[in-house]
Amino acid sequence: MNARVERTRHRTVWVSDTHLGTRGCRADLLLEFLRSFEAETLYLVGDIIDGWRLKKSWYWAPSHSEVVHEVLAMARRGTRVIYVPGNHDEVLREYVGLMVGTLEVQRQAIHTTADGRRLLVLHGDQFDGIVNHAKWLAKLGDWAYTLTLELNRQFNAARHRMGFGYWSLSAYLKGMVKGAVSFIDNFEHAIAEEARRHGVDGVVCGHIHKAEMRHIEGILYCNDGDWVEGCTALVEQPDGTLQLIHWAEERQTHASRTRVAAYAA
């Protein structure tokens, strides 16, 4: 009989940009992560379901349904689930202020940590000039990004066959492009300024698929990343401590430690 797996306890978890409905979504890793913890509150910080991609062509793997079922199961177990829609699942913005089943839909939220800090929670697409003023260009960029993710998938399949762990080719290329680095920096500062305008201590967002936690002119900026490249989330511990979880890396480290323990035994 299998031993019962003990779940990690977090006060709060933030997840965004899972892009369910696309081939790039790492639903397998996301499902593992969701099953690894219990939390008082789970924030879904936008682009959970990729409506843009589903409108063009239907793709929905069984693992994507399992992710949805796990989130609903968490809500049934007592986790408060707050859905803050992004630009790819913007259709849900029509339901802001309402309950969709057991999920609360909010345009943005204010979260108070256990140590008293107030954090603005929003997806962040409203601070992306391309999304707001040239949607056709945003969709062209989405096409190019999808192509890069497919190359990333094939690249990592080859790495897996050679015994190597997951490595994000697309994230590496993004970091090498000067324009992308400038865009990210401008985005982060705009988000931090929005938090300052709300009179809060920090902000949690998604949208740009780059996990980060740093102070920007006195404002704590947190981006929980994504589940197509980095496979990351932001968590709050019971004492209010915030931490970025890099699930693919932690999973690989845990597997290595398990193998070492097995050899030692």
pLDDT digit string (tens) for 4-13?
Answer: 457 899 999 9
Q: Does 17 have pLDDT greater than 50?
A: yes
Q: Phi and psi of 232, rounded to 5°?
A: -130, 160
pTM: 0.78
| Rg, C-alpha atoms of the chain | 18
Which pLDDT score is estimated for 188?
94
The pLDDT value recorded for residue 256 is 43
**Collapsing DSSP states into helix, strand and coil, what is residue 184?**
helix
Q: Are 205 and 194 in contact (CB under 8 A)?
A: no
pLDDT of residue 248: 87
| Rounded mean pLDDT, 50-64 | 93
Which position has the token pair 């933030």?
Answer: 14
Mean pLDDT of 155-179: 62
Q: Which pLDDT does position 143 carry in this prediction?
A: 52
The full length of the chain comes to 265
The answer to the question of residue 1 being in a domain is no
Asked if residue 58 has pLDDT above 60, the reply is yes
Q: State the virtual CA torsion across 33, 116, 78, 248 in degrees, nearest 10.
A: 0
The residue segments making up the domain with residue 240 are 9-264
Of the given ranges (27-31, 194-198, 255-259), which has the lowest mean pLDDT? Answer: 255-259
Kindly report, residue by residue over 104-158, the tens digit of the pLDDT. 999 999 999 999 999 999 999 988 753 343 343 444 445 555 656 666 667 667 7
* pLDDT score at 140: 42
Q: Which residue has the higher pLDDT, 199 or 184?
A: 199
Inform me whether the pLDDT recorded for 162 exceeds 90.
no
Is 240 among the domain residues?
yes
pLDDT at site 133: 37
4 is a domain residue? no
Is residue 227 in some structural domain? Answer: yes
Of residues 168 and 29, the one with the higher pLDDT is: 29
The DSSP letter of residue 36 is T
**Whole-number percent of the chain with pLDDT over 90:** 62
Q: d(Cα 209, Cα 87) in Å, to the nearest integer?
A: 13
Compute the 3-state secondary structure of the chain and give helix, strand, coil in percent, each to the nearest 5: 45, 20, 35
Residue 148 lies in a domain: yes
Residue 3 lies in a domain: no
For residue range 228-255, list pLDDT tens digits in order.
988 999 999 999 999 999 998 887 665 4
Task: Give me the torsion for CA of 64, 66, 70, 73, rounded to 10°.
Answer: 130
Q: What is the CATH number of the domain that holds 193?
A: 3.60.21.10
| Band of residue 48 on the pLDDT scale cut at 50, 70, 90 | very high
Domain count, the chain: 1
Residue 3 has pLDDT above 70, yes or no: no
Question: For residues 144 and 50, which has the higher predicted lDDT (pLDDT)?
Answer: 50
Phi, psi of 205 (to 5 degrees): -145, -175
| Confidence class for position 184, pLDDT limits 50, 70, 90 | confident
Distance CA 242, CA 112 (A): 12
Question: Is residue 2 in a domain?
Answer: no
Q: Is residue 214 part of a domain?
A: yes
